[in-house]
Amino acid sequence: MMTVKDLKLHIRKDPGNWQVYLMDFVDDFRYYRDSAMIATPCKATDNKLDGLIASTIEYLCDELKMKVPEWVLRVPPSREPWFVSGIENLKAITIVESPVYFRRRKIFVLENFLTRV
């Protein structure tokens, strides 16, 4: 079971594979539904990534009908808009589709960003 602190540690060690670690965390959180996984705040290290993780936790808490930890709500927006896909042609659609938890922090993803098959 991966905690948010584990997630940040993995990403810090291997930033090129942040997507893999984030989705592993998403899978674990959906499976275990354990608030202890998100209870302990992690040190802010990257404005965009911290916002992405906080937005992901808010999204999952809403989906799973769990209380969002206070520390998550205090994570500020990204300094600059971040279009996670990095694909220029998707920018317009991500502005429209991005769930509110991400948009609030100027992070733009497709609506199916956290969908797992």
Q: What is the pLDDT of residue 5?
A: 94
Q: Is residue 17 part of a domain?
A: yes
Q: Is residue 114 part of a domain?
A: no
Task: Flag whether 73 is in a domain.
Answer: yes
Measure the CA–CA gap between 65 and 85, rounded to whole angstroms.
28
What's the whole-number mean pLDDT along residues 111-115?
95
- 115 belongs to a structural domain: no
Residue 23 counted as domain residue: yes
Q: Is 28 inside a domain boundary?
A: yes
The total domain count for the chain is 1
Q: Is residue 116 part of a domain?
A: no
Domain that holds residue 44: 4-108
Amino acid 86: pLDDT: 92
User: What is the structure's pLDDT at 90?
Assistant: 95
Q: Angle formed by the axes of helices 18-32 and 47-64, to 10°?
A: 20
| Prediction pTM value | 0.95
Query: pLDDT tens across 34-93, in order?
Result: 999 999 988 888 889 999 999 999 999 999 999 999 999 999 999 999 999 999 999 999
Residue 99 makes CB contacts below 8 A (sequence gap 6+) with: 55, 59, 109, 111, 113
